[in-house]
Amino acid sequence: MNRRVLLIGVGLIGGSLALAIKKEHDATIIGYDLNEEECKLAKTLQVIDDYSIHLREEAEQADLIVFATPVEETLRLIEALNSFTLKPNVIITDVGSTKGNILKKAEPLQQKGVTFIGGHPMAGSHKSGVGSAKGHLFENAFYIFTLLPKTPNEKVVELKGWLKGTKANFQMMEADEHDLVTGVISHFPHVMAASLVRQVQDQAEKNDLIHRLAAGGFKDITRIASSSPSMWRDIIQHNQENILYLMDEWMIEMNEVRDLVAKGDRDRIYDYFSGAKQYRDAMPEGSKGAIRSFYDLYVDVLDQAGVISHITTILAEGNISITNIRIIEAREDVYGVLRISFRTDEDREKAKKIIEQHQYETYKA
């Protein structure tokens, strides 16, 4: 029997989930999105089988409903589902990066006998839109499930079966734990990146040279500040308590660091940076976490005609695609003149090997 999947939100994440489901299941995937053009593109690209503007009609036929929409929109639409006559065996899930409010909103569905399982695939891309969707986007990434009380285990197993094609690492967490953990390793760092950029902006108004010099390492370490403002507005609102707690802790930390700097104790300053370095260097490599990875390779090249086209030709001959390439001008703490960005760590490793075979020196950040 052909089963039906309703994909609400046909973008990068939703489209990638649809492609992963298609790899393992002969199911009909119907898209629903406020942006009808995105649905048309998704159908043309065969990411979905069809799309509809009738949410109730499609939801009531679905065996699996996936919300791949911003948190605010997900909350609104979950409430709408309460008035629908859904299949008793339907599973509803989402991809939101905060879980507490979503699970609270889904409680009335559970009381009606419908299964809702919160989901958060911890992977993304530097691009957006269904045109960038990839069936392997979530491969080896953590995929968090958060459950309402009394959720049947067989329904969790069934959802894992639906999502088998993602090849993700499924993990179970309580909603509160999830929101604190993602606050620590994702949400709060985004706040800090934005605040660092704002501080540089303020100083750049007093000195034009700051803007030019910030185009090097500073721009690299604050890249996450370029994320969607509307998405981060929603995340801050829905994880407010945890982010405020982390900000208070950060202020205590900064006061201690300020005292460290003011006293000028060389040994303590060294120990502070050494401890941070040791912990960072011990973090696992090659795994996907809450913040999307940047697969960059730095290459030392001489300033001579044709060198960039030579490197891009080498990569093209090796069938390795790149997402970005640029010359680094401000290179403090950055080795190499060229920064080349890749889609995956595998592509970066292949590129490193090929480029070094042509006698260029390369470095990973």
Q: 150-170 pLDDT, tens per residue?
A: 999 999 999 999 999 999 999
Q: How far is CA 66 from CA 31, 32, 290, in A?
A: 10, 10, 20
pLDDT tens figures, 91-102: 999 999 999 999
pLDDT for 336 beyond 60: no
Q: Candidates 3.40.50.300, 3.30.2130.10, 1.20.1440.130, 2.60.40.10; correct CATH number of 295-363?
A: 3.30.2130.10
Tokens of 170: 């499924």
**Homologous superfamily of domain range 3-173:** NAD(P)-binding Rossmann-like Domain (3.40.50.720)
What pLDDT, on a 0 to 100 scale, did the predictor assign at position 290? Answer: 60
pLDDT tens figures, 46-85: 999 999 999 999 999 999 999 999 999 999 999 999 999 9
Same fold, 3-173 and 295-363: no
Please state, as a whole number, how many other Cβ atoms lie within 10 Å of the Cβ of residue 155. Answer: 15
As a three-state string, the secondary structure of the chain is CCEEEEEECCCHHHHHHHHHHHHHCCEEEEEECCCHHHHHHHHHCCCCCEECCCHHHHHHHCCEEEECCCHHHHHHHHHHHCCCCCCCCCEEEECCCCCHHHHHHHHHHHHCCCEEEEEEECCCCCCCCHHHCCCCCCCCEEEEEEECCCCCHHHHHHHHHHCHHHCCEEEECCHHHHHHHHHHHHHHHHHHHHHHHHHHHHHHCCCHHHHHHCCCHHHHHCHHHHCCHHHHHHHHHHCHHHHHHHHHHHHHHHHHHHHHHHHCCHHHHHHHHHHHHHHHHCCCCCCECCCCCCEEEEEECCCCCCHHHHHHHHHHHCCCCCCEEEECCCCCCCCCCEEEEECCHHHHHHHHHHHHHCCCEEECC
Range of lowest pLDDT (48-62, 110-124, 243-257, 335-349): 335-349
pTM: 0.79
- Nearest residue to 321 via CA among 353, 299, 348: 348
Strands 361-363, 338-342: pairing is unpaired
Cβ atoms of 323 and 223 within 8 Å: the answer is no
Q: How far apart are CA 207 and CA 200, in angstroms?
A: 10
Residues in the chain: 365
359: left (phi over 0), alpha (psi -120 to 50) or beta: left
**Homologous superfamily of domain range 178-281:** 6-phosphogluconate dehydrogenase C-terminal like domain (1.10.3660.10)
What pLDDT, on a 0 to 100 scale, did the predictor assign at position 331? Answer: 43
pLDDT tens figures, 290-334: 666 678 888 877 766 788 888 889 899 888 888 888 776 544 444
How confident is the prediction for the chain on average, in pLDDT?
A: 89
For the chain, what are the domain ranges? 3-173, 178-281, 295-363
pLDDT tens figures, 261-287: 999 999 999 999 999 999 988 887 655
| Cα within 13 Å of Cα(207), Cβ side | 8
Q: How far apart are CA 144 and CA 107, in angstroms?
A: 19
State the residue for tokens 């939703």: 14
Please state, as a whole number, how many other Cβ atoms lie within 10 Å of the Cβ of residue 319. Answer: 8
Q: How far apart are CA 118 and CA 102, in angstroms?
A: 8
